Structure 1
Amino acid sequence: MDAKSTVFEVLKKEGEPMSAGQIAEKSGLDRKEVDKAMKQLKSEEAIVSPKRCYWSPKE
């Protein structure tokens, strides 16, 4: 599973907005990998930010 898929799965599983640091901790990925994956997910509009620096999957 690539980093983008892993990040998205962690967000879906947790069911609440998470910061990049929390995602990195839960997924076991490096923070830089998480940031890169989140950038891709944001450009695809797969994730949204309900509050500053926190992300969740788009409904």
Structure 2
Amino acid sequence: MKEKVLKAMQEAQKPVRPGDIAKALDIDSKDVSKAIKELREDGSVISPKRCYYEPA
């Protein structure tokens, strides 16, 4: 799941919200949020502004 979310962020080429990723991947936004949390903890994703995320 983390790989799918990270790939979707890279393809967007701009900061995105978890809901946008969930729509793009057609999955539950809670699963996306969980994956983003894990990606933030390992440093793969940063948050340039509140509720938006992009690859580090």
1:53 corresponds to which of 47, 51, 54: 51
The structure 1 segments of at least 4 consecutive aligned residues displaced by more than 2 Å after TM superposition are none
| Alpha-carbon shift at residue 32 of structure 1 (Å) | 1.2
Q: Percent identity?
A: 36
TM-score by length of 1: 0.90
Structure 1 unaligned residues grouped into runs of 5+:
none
Take 1:42 and 1:15, find their aligned partners in 2: how far apart are those partners?
Answer: 17
Structure 2 unaligned residues grouped into runs of 5+:
none
Equivalent pairs counted in the alignment come to: 56
